[in-house]
Copies of this chain bind each other. A is one copy, B any other.
Amino acid sequence: MGDTRIVTAAVLIIGNEILSGRTRDVNLAYLATGLTQLGIRLREARVIADVEAEIIKAVNECRARYDYVFTTGGIGPTHDDITAECVAKAFGLPLIRNPEAVARLERHYEPGMLNEARLRMANTPEGATLIDNPVSTAPGFQIGNLFVLAGVPSIMQAMFDGLKGRLAGGAPVLSHTISAFLGEGVIAKDLGELQQRYMDLDIGSYPFHRQGKYGASFVLRGTERSRIDGAAAELRTLIAGLGGQPIEGEPAER
């Protein structure tokens, strides 16, 4: 049977720059893909402003509700970087200057360059475990089930890749995609009935316009390969019965 535990997660993207449209977030897609590969279900993501009350509220709602929570952004040296202090308040813990984080910064900066602003990047809630930053040293941290990561994508990615060993995934989500140059509306009724017969699967329908034609990709997700294979076989028959040609995976763009 394998692992059947469902492990869940949420992502909090912290930063005014995403909400103003100045910066296009790319971290969510990276985390979504990475968590799925680990057998962790990303259930929710929120983009929130650099506002203390908002960050505290989102952290506390999500850490109570999901197995893991990941934040991105707000851990640099400037006044608008307030994630660490907000997380400490959310957990009701003192914010301390983490000695190991200070030691890492001392090794990184030239003598005289480690000023108070940069030392702020060593602040963590008491009891936090550091998350390595192989790109620019200033670490993230873990406290309880919350992982605090950088907002700069190259740093965020390196931090996440390095901490995967701390995460206990559940039953891996398997998926199979079948596409067809059929309108969604043509197959919708049969597809809904297929979903009813396979309630343990999540069947999604995603329309596209490729090779100058409309069609849709149908994604079958679940934890048991045999069930996915069974639904896929039925889906191929459905598509053919509607005069379509089932395509394994996604058709080429052109």
Interface residue ranges, A against B (CB under 8 Å): 16-25, 28-29, 32-36, 41-50, 54, 76-80, 113, 115-118, 120-121, 152, 173, 175, 184-189, 191-192, 195, 202-207, 219, 221
Contacts and interface: CB of A to CB of B under 8 A. Distances in A.
Nearest to A13: B45
Nearest to A138: B185
A2 to B, nearest CB: 20
Contacts of A44: 19, 46-49, 54
Contacts of A206: 17, 22-23
Dominant secondary structure at the A interface: mixed
B80 A205 contact: yes
Nearest to A189: B117
B48 A21 contact: no
B77 A16 contact: no
Given A76-B184, A78-B191, A42 B20 contact: yes
A29 B41 CA distance: 24
Nearest to A105: B185
B184 A77 contact: yes
Contacts of A187: 78
Given A49-B43, A204-B16, A206-B17, A78 B188 contact: yes
A140 to B, nearest CB: 15
A206 B188 CA distance: 46
